[in-house]
Structure 1
């Protein structure tokens, strides 16, 4: 009696064989589900790792090949569908990230500008957002000019920066006898998703405060602090779709298409080699089969030895000497052309 494992293996093989006989539509949906799951795992475990753009297309084409979807046209079309699936996944992942932003504070490289933030982080177009930052001044008489918060629209193309002048709300000496100044600006933001940085001129030198440690999970790690944002999934998703299209079509589909074309070229090159070999064999067989009998005639021994005499040759069938002009062997009756 077969072991349970063997029975399970037989059933599994039978199931696979049945699945392989299903329509190409069902197999395509299965392949898309596999690639969507793989991409989602990558985005959760190691988002935006550069190898994703190579591993996912490689696995995708491997799955399709195993599912007996090997037509170049079908591969390119299904690959495009896969790119659209990745577009949706990317846009969803990015949207969820921007709807749950980590705490971030703007800071300058030398640390003299710090605690730059906005409250609240989420709101609507009517919400008043309070931008604040702390500045450590060289001394109490330092000249501070152009204290500005720059709020930029986060979008795929055509984003604009909006400058807002900040006002001094407090100035004091800390425990280290350093002059500390606090600035703020209260404003609305017209765009659903934004980035912001601070800049200021202190005693003739410019300083800028931004994100010194961008989150590794950020879809678009930048120097700007992410926020404020509208807490609206559909709106943010719409902003992220162009980024998703770039990730799906440029980062993924182009690599996939190159791999498919490489497979096509390898198949074509192999076919060309096989056709060339078959053609050479056929031509050689034709040459061998089409050799004229007079080309195979063996010259007589007398002629081969240079002895003068009537031109003749040896019959290839019986070995008799036959005159050159003869059409039939006088001994065996073999006909010559």
Structure 2
């Protein structure tokens, strides 16, 4: 037997085993996991959230899956695997992240004459309660003494599912004119929760600017970050999961509607054929009857099969 035929036979047998299903579910889960980071890019987020459920449905359908129960199981299994894999990837990324420097963001609501740069926290990684130094460099195109401006570190504190925010004021390290730039800093004692931080500044007139925010300092243990990412990943992946079941429902409903229409067409055809047969039989019976005994005869009979009466043309 040629190698190609043996390979085709082996693949056909493998396609009927449980391991084949495990393989394609694992591959689809990896595809969903790889697509997940693109849900945070504004231009492609909606497309990716639609591509995920389409991939989850089309690949099993393409390889021959048609059972509703299998589709339901597939969706739930892929959802769980993707949540676990994405959470593990995000946790390892955060725990291995390098220190970052925050800069002022560009926004029409922010004052373009105020500038924050080189915003940091040190140490960036810690495994036990520690005192952290928050530091940022501030410049103002309008100038003025540091006392004319209030600089803050905005700290987001996450414990389990609870979240809170606190603002800590930073103090100028020198009395330099802010037009030339001034460093601000403060020290904050923190535990081992999950933290996010950023900086903002405002002047006496209420004009203000701010940096972006990032996770840090990295102080919580691995399980805390994993649980945090698993929770928010689950919430986000519920969107493609709902679309997946919507696609599955539309496929099931359209197939059911086709079967219903075919069944109704068969019933209508049967109802039409049955009266026609009865009418034909009645017409035949009424057209040829023996006048002597009333028996039914055919047009080809020369005499009555019952009484023997001879028919005249």
Which TM-score tier does this pair reach, normalised by the shorter chain?
Answer: 0.7 to 0.9
**Alpha carbons of structure 1 residues 291 and 120: separation in structure 2 relative to 1, 3 Å:** same
SS at match of 1:186: strand
> Does the aligned pair in 1 maintain the 2:151–2:170 contact within 8 Å?
yes
Match for 1:282 among 242, 262, 270? 270
The question of 1:226 aligning with 2:215 is answered yes
- Structure 2 unaligned blocks of 5 or more: 107-111, 307-313
The question of 1:121 aligning with 2:124 is answered yes
Return the alpha-carbon distance in structure 1 between the equivalents of residues 56 and 215 of structure 2. Answer: 34
Return the alpha-carbon distance in structure 2 between the equivalents of residues 267 and 127 of structure 1. Answer: 62
> Does the aligned pair in 2 maintain the 1:193–1:229 contact within 8 Å?
yes
Residue in structure 2 matched with residue 221 of structure 1 by the alignment? none
The question of 1:169 aligning with 2:157 is answered no
- Structure 1 unaligned blocks of 5 or more: 212-223, 298-312, 316-320
SS at match of 2:78: helix
Return the alpha-carbon distance in structure 1 between the equivalents of residues 180 and 6 of structure 2. Answer: 78
The question of 1:236 aligning with 2:225 is answered yes
Listed one character per residue, the Cα deviations across residues 204-258 of structure 1 (whole Å, up to 9, x for unaligned) are 22313212xxxxxxxxxxxx2332112633321121110121233x123212111
Displacement of 1:125 after TM fit? 4.2
**Alpha carbons of structure 1 residues 228 and 239: separation in structure 2 relative to 1, 3 Å:** same
Residue in structure 2 matched with residue 32 of structure 1 by the alignment? 25
TM-score by length of 2: 0.79
> Does the aligned pair in 2 maintain the 1:88–1:241 contact within 8 Å?
yes
Matches within 5 A, 1:173-192: 173=177, 178-190=179-191, 192=193
CA RMSD of aligned residues (A): 3.1
Residue in structure 2 matched with residue 158 of structure 1 by the alignment? 162
Count of aligned residue pairs for this structure pair:
290
Return the alpha-carbon distance in structure 1 between the equivalents of residues 279 and 3 of structure 2. Answer: 62
Match for 1:107 among 100, 104, 107? 104
Return the alpha-carbon distance in structure 1 between the equivalents of residues 298 and 220 of structure 2. Answer: 110
TM-score by length of 1: 0.74
